[in-house]
Structure 1
Amino acid sequence: MLLDDKVAVVTGAGPGLGRTLARLLSEEGARVVVAARTAATVERTAAEVPGTLAVPADVTRIEDVRRLAGTVIDRLGRVDVLVNAAFPGSHRRNVLDMSDGDLEAWRAAVETGGYGTLLACRFIAPHMVAQRSGSIVNLTSMSSRKGYAGRSDYAAGKAAAHLLSHCLADELGPYGVRVNCVAPGWIAGDVLDDWMRTRAAAEGVPFEEILARDVSAMALRRVATEEDVARAVLYLASDHARAVTGATIDVNGGQLFT
């Protein structure tokens, strides 16, 4: 197994991609620690991925992340992989249409994507430095390279994590710690389907027409799945990528070439 006897921490390990990441890392032999803002969320993930350790933690709070790092070391003795996948739900709103509440939500999104990723690295990476090995994988997005109307919160938060990864790769490389990104595009699931149905209703066309139009813009003619994204993370987390740092793997079906 690719991660046999390694310890992996996944932030943002709630429903969807975070849970899929935890499951795949566990199946590949890792002892997995899952973290999310609310106890109920992270405990559900742990219940679905047997053998995992659940630690409620808000990645934008220094004391929460410091406690997360300490708990991992106290309970498991080391940390080999950190996957930063935390990001709040994003709603579509053009900047000039934002209310005061929207502006606060924008700030929270960017804090989670940028500052939250920074804090997790700040308190977990020192243990990797001490053991002279480790892999950090930050979940960014196709939107970290190309902005879209109404998605400035998502784009700015993910872009912050993207460039932070480059800085950390340079800082931590001399200690044998690798830092990379996986940048998903659209991911198949209910959220994407709901958005396509909204667009279909607005245009007065069937859902299937919107889906076919969008998929036709992808070189592979299919939408990536959570499993596709998780397997890219697995590669970067494993020793198969031992000479890879500062890199980004795009998982978007060929929707955007970089």
Structure 2
Amino acid sequence: MLLEGKIAVITGAGPGLGRTLAKLLRDEGAAVVVAARTAATLDQTAAEVPGVLAVPADLTSIDDVQRLAGTVIDRFGRVDVLVNAAFPGSHRKNVLDMSAGDLESWRKAVETGGYGTLLACRFIAPHMVARRSGSIVNITSMSSRLGYAGRSDYAAGKAAAHLLSHCLADELGPYGVRVNCVAPGWIASDVLEEWMRTRAAAEGVPFEEILARDVSAMALRRIATEEDVARAVVYLASDHARAVTGATIDVNGGQLFT
């Protein structure tokens, strides 16, 4: 098992990718702590991934993140892996069409993606520095380098985490702490399928036509799964990547080459 004996913290461990990350890291031998804002979400994760320690935390709150770090250290004495995966869903609105409420949603999204990632690193990384060992993996996105209309909140938040990772890799490298990114493209999910079906309906064509058109733009002719993304995280978290820092692994089926 690639992570046997390691202590891993996952922020944003809600439905979908966060839960898949928790399961795979646990299956690879890590003791896993999951954090998210909503207690009900964490309860569901804990029910589906037995053995994880669930800690409710608003990742944009200094007090909450300090409490999260303290809880982990009190329980395990150290942190070996930090995976930052928290991000609210995009509401798909063009900038010039945004209402006051939309602007506030934009601010909160970018705050979660950028500032939330910063806080988790700020209060958990010192425990890695003290041991001169650790791996931080930030889940960014293809959108951190390629913006789309209506997704400026998502792109800006992910871009903040992406460049923050470069800065932290430079700052923490001398202490043996690695910082990398995994950047998914589209991930197979009910949400993605619903979006494709909406586009198909708008164009008056079958869903299968939209799916085939989208997949044909990917070199591997397949849409990545949550497990595909999680396995890239496991690699960067493991000792197999001990000489890798400041890097980004793209998991997009060849939709975007970088």
Q: Normalising to structure 1: TM-score of the pair?
A: 0.99
Q: What amino acid is the match of 1:129?
A: V
Task: Report whether the alignment pairs 1:216 with 2:222.
Answer: no
Q: CA RMSD, aligned part only? A: 0.5
d(CA) in 2 for partners of 1:12, 1:198? 27
Counterpart of 1:16 in structure 2 is 16
Q: What amino acid is the match of 2:234?
A: L
Counterpart of 1:67 in structure 2 is 67
Counterpart of 2:191 in structure 1 is 191
d(CA) in 2 for partners of 1:60, 1:204? 42
d(CA) in 2 for partners of 1:161, 1:144? 8
After superposition, where does 1:1-258 map in structure 2 within 5 Å?
1-258=1-258
1:48 deviation in Å?
1.2
d(CA) in 1 for partners of 2:115, 2:209? 39
d(CA) in 2 for partners of 1:188, 1:11? 21
- CA offsets, 1:106-143, max 9 Å, x none? 00000000000000000000000001100000000000
Gap runs ≥5 in structure 2? none
1:40 deviation in Å?
1.1
Moved over 4 A (4+): none
Gap runs ≥5 in structure 1? none
d(CA) in 2 for partners of 1:198, 1:169? 40
d(CA) in 1 for partners of 2:235, 2:129? 21
d(CA) in 1 for partners of 2:209, 2:91? 23
1:76 deviation in Å?
1.0
**Identity of aligned pairs, percent?**
89
d(CA) in 2 for partners of 1:245, 1:59? 24
d(CA) in 1 for partners of 2:254, 2:200? 23
Q: What amino acid is the match of 1:150?
A: G
Q: What amino acid is the match of 1:70?
A: G
Q: What amino acid is the match of 2:247?
A: A
Number of residue-to-residue matches in the alignment: 258
SS in 2 for 1:88: coil
d(CA) in 2 for partners of 1:91, 1:206? 25
Q: What amino acid is the match of 1:127?
A: H
1:183 deviation in Å?
0.2
Q: Normalising to structure 2: TM-score of the pair?
A: 0.99
1:47 deviation in Å?
1.6
Q: What amino acid is the match of 2:9?
A: V
d(CA) in 1 for partners of 2:9, 2:164? 19
- CA offsets, 1:187-223, max 9 Å, x none? 0010100110111111111111000000000000000
d(CA) in 1 for partners of 2:58, 2:25? 22
1:165 deviation in Å?
0.1
d(CA) in 2 for partners of 1:8, 1:243? 19
